[in-house]
Structure 1
Amino acid sequence: MLEGFDEMDAFVARGCGLVMSKDEHERLVTSENQAVRISNAANMFLFIAKVYASITSGSLAIISSTMDSLLDILSGFILWIAASSMQTPNPYQYPIGKRRMQPLGILVFASVMATLGLQIILESVRTLVSAKNAFRLTKEQERWVVSIMLTVTLLKLLLLVYCRSFKNGIVRAYAQDHFFDVITNGIGLTSALLANRTGHWMDPLGAIILALYTIGTWSKTVLENVNSLVGKSATAEYMRKLTYMCWNHHEAIRQIDTVRAYSFGTHYFVEVDIVLPSDMPLRVAHDIGESLQNKLEMLPEIERAFLHLDYDCTHKPEHSHSG
């Protein structure tokens, strides 16, 4: 807790130095767009390579991994639409911005991935029961399949490191997808090789493991983004840091009546009620409240801060229509 308070003190001491300039913001947006474009181009190239590997091997696990790559392309298109929409604000139609487009796009993306996992399980169980998936690869075919899958995995690993260097939620969703592909490519290749050298059942078994991992990973992502859409409260630790900043903002503040922070997409909306002396001039009270609002909105996690100035703490800050 004390470390969090020191962080707030350091933030106040640095002041406006933390505010990103317009040029820095534009460079960051350009870099994020470039990461999205590179990921989409790589997904297209790797999908073509895995189609060839699927045709060559006939492995159900590799085919499942290829279908995953196809959905990567479709889901990438969804995320690209969400990112483009966020970068074209319209203060008249969307006065509070389009921050929720980001978790909404990720939510659609994750739902599609989880649905794919269920389809893979059904097909793998059917194949496992029917025992009609036996296949054999020649040494030449096996060499081609191994080369393609290892190349795909290496490229995905490089993209994973690249996309994780960004804080943008959509780019990090691509990073999660690249990580997922590294895992699934490894499972698919291992299952195909084992099925080729041992029993055919290893191939659909690997596909089932791959699908269960898909469902588990993206179901967790769905739940996280649902919470960000419905306005979940920030952690108690973060609320303490905000309260500390508000209390130390100005010596005239007598009480901190209410501090709230709840998710709005990837950022927070903050509501603060402070108590000032009843005989304080409106001009002075306004300046105290506005400077605190600006200070809160400088925090990178906060989208918008709302300040309520009062002379007592007898009011009820709760909304009359809470759902």
Structure 2
Amino acid sequence: MTTRGRRSWRGPARRRNSVASMRGEFVSRLPKKVLDAVDPERPSHVDFSRSKGLPEGEREYYEKQFATLRSFEEVDSLESNEINEEEELAEQNQSEFAMKISNYANIVLLALKVYATIKSGSIAIAASTLDSLLDLMAGGILWFTHLSMKSINVYKYPIGKLRVQPVGIIIFAAVMATLGFQVFIQAVEKLIVNEAPDKLNQVQLLWLYSIMIFATVVKLALWLYCRTSGNKIVRAYAKDHYFDVVTNVVGLAAAVLGDRFYWWIDPIGAIALAVYTQFQIGLEQCGKMQTVLLLLSVVILRAVSLVGESAPPEMLQKLTYLAIRHHPQIKRVDTVRAYTFGVLYFVEVSVCLLVYFIILFPCPSFAQEISCVVSQCNQELDNVAVDIELPEDLPLKEAHAVGESLPNQDRGAP
């Protein structure tokens, strides 16, 4: 059965296979030279500076083991988080409003900056306009993903539409890389030709100042509004608005200084903005600079997320600990899988229960509790598939009875 992992877990933490007992057994078996490094007041912390004669390989091994125990303590410290539906709805409405006004503003400002580029002929303004196009496309991808996930035909899309976003990001990265490279080439060509363009007249300067200052003020106001939101997507919009303020100021300064003093300031400003735009895309999608070709990193990163890469071992350890500790009637945990599913993780947990527990308790509610515990472990989880295995010695008649009861119970699951 598959359930959504997005509700709060209401049950208390179970104390079966607790981290305290695991830690006690682990510490009791440590050699003397490692035991000397254990902090008596905090048994999960070690200071190997107090231990002598411990090889580097053994030190790394024990450091990883104690780090695992500390991660299990974090799991045990998870508390019940009741969801206030009214507050959640109000926050969702505020987030949608922020995304709407941001997208509408991006459309209007892009049109104005295209006009300013045509009127001024400044390649630095063209590079700043490219950044506005970046924001519009990125915002469109996020908004389309948000809308498509709100209304899903489970018969047509049984696993949802989470992979729409990484596909859109791959297309977006390819388009922006092409446009940015084109602006870069044009700026370099102007420097090679070494011919000063015509000066801007008063009307052109008036349009240039008006549009760019207006765009900067609007983006500054949107940044101040969006940065206070608790929604991750809205905060991403705030970051884009802040970058736009920077590119607008740099673009306007390069265009004006190039017109009034040295013409080559304009193409140099365009080159700087083109490189900055590509660097900005790479940092937003990769989280850090992984290679010189940042946009290539974006494509590779999102392509891997579509394939279904396994979660880190640390996360799998936490998930396994969560599953075995969830309820004392869990006989064993057979399988725990977690892999990328678009931009989020999909988790599969296979457990075996005692037969009377299966019959007396509704399986969907049990699956909901497991999914909630897993979702509290990591906020990047989307779905949790819980497979409940019947004991091998269960009589066939009773197995059919349990199987017949599951569809009726499953209809109550979210």
Return the TM-score normalized by structure 1. Answer: 0.76
Q: Secondary structure of the residue that 1:14 maps to in structure 2?
A: coil
Shift of 1:168: 5.0
- Say yes or no: does 1:8 pair with 2:72: no
CA-CA distance at 1:103 after TM superposition: 3.1
The corresponding residue for 1:190 is 253
Deviation (angstroms), 1:212? 1.6
How far has the Cα of 1:44 moved from its partner? 2.9
Deviation track 1:240-259 (CA, whole Å, cap 9, x = no partner) reads 33233223212344554433
Post-superposition CA distance 1:89-114 (Å, at most 9, x none): 11211122222223333443333322
Q: In structure 1, what is the Cα distance between the partners aligned to 2:388 and 2:177?
A: 47
Q: In the TM superposition, what is the alpha-carbon distance from 1:41 to its structure 2 partner?
A: 1.9
Distance (Å, rounded) in 2 between the aligned partners of 1:29 and 1:194: 44
User: Deviation per CA, 1:144-180, whole angstroms, max 9, x where unpaired?
Assistant: 64564344234223323544535354x4554454344
Q: Tell me if 1:233 matches 2:299.
A: no
1:117 corresponding residue in structure 2: 180
Distance 1:92 1:127 in 2: 56
- Equivalenced residue count is 306
Cα distance between partner residues in 2 of 1:162 and 1:227: 34
- Conserved in 1, the CA contact under 8 Å of 2:334 and 2:352? yes
Instruction: Please tell me whether the aligned partners of residues 319 and 336 of structure 2 are also in contact (alpha carbons under 8 angstroms).
Output: yes
Instruction: Provide the secondary structure at the position in 2 that maps to 1:30.
Output: helix
Answer with 288-297 or 223-232: which moved more: 288-297
Deviations 1:11-61 (A, max 9, x none): 3x315x1x463x455434433321222012212332344345435543210
1:112-136: CA deviation from partner (whole Å, max 9, x where unpaired)? 3222211211211222211235354
Is 1:167 aligned to 2:231, yes or no? yes
Aligned residue in 1 for 2:191:
128
TM-score under structure 2 length normalisation: 0.61
Corresponding letter in the other structure for 1:234: A
Indicate whether 1:301 and 2:403 are aligned: no
The answer as to whether partners of 1:124 and 1:208 remain within 8 angstroms in 2 is yes
1:270 is the counterpart of 2:347: yes
Corresponding residue of 1:92: 155
Contact 1:79 1:109 in 2 (8 A): no
1:32 paired to 2:95: yes
Moved more, 281-290 or 192-201: 281-290
Q: Does the CA-based 8 Å contact 1:149-1:185 persist in structure 2?
A: yes
Q: Secondary structure at the match of 2:384?
A: strand
Counterpart for residue 246 of structure 1: 323
Q: CA deviation at 1:84?
A: 2.4
Which stretch has the larger CA shift, 287-296 or 85-94? 287-296
Percent sequence identity is: 42
Tell me, in whole angstroms, the C-alpha distance in 2 between the residues paired with 1:236 and 1:137. Answer: 61
SS in 2 for 1:94: coil
1:19-98 → structure 2 map (5 Å cutoff): 19=83, 21=85, 23-51=86-114, 53-55=116-118, 57-70=120-133, 72-73=135-136, 76-98=139-161
Moved more, 1-10 or 41-50: 1-10
Whether 1:283 aligns to 2:354 is no
Cα pair distance change 1:84/1:286, threshold 3 Å: closer
Cα pair 1:68 1:113 within 8 Å, conserved: no
What runs of 5+ residues in structure 2 fail to find an aligned partner? 1-66, 286-297, 392-414
Q: Which amino acid aligns with 1:235?
A: P
Distance in 1, Cα, partners of 2:279 & 2:134: 17
For the pair shown, which has the larger CA radius of gyration, 1 or 2?
A: 2
Secondary structure of residue in 1 paired with 2:80? helix
Q: Report which structure shows greater RCO (CA 8 Å, sep ≥6).
A: 2
**2: CA distance, partners of 1:210 / 1:234:** 36
RMSD of aligned Cα (Å): 3.6
Counterpart CA distance in 1 for 2:380 and 2:138 is: 26
- Distance in 1 separating the partners of 2:173 and 2:223: 17
Say which is worse superposed, 214-223 or 280-289, in terms of deviation. Answer: 280-289
Contact 2:130 2:180 in 1 (8 A): no
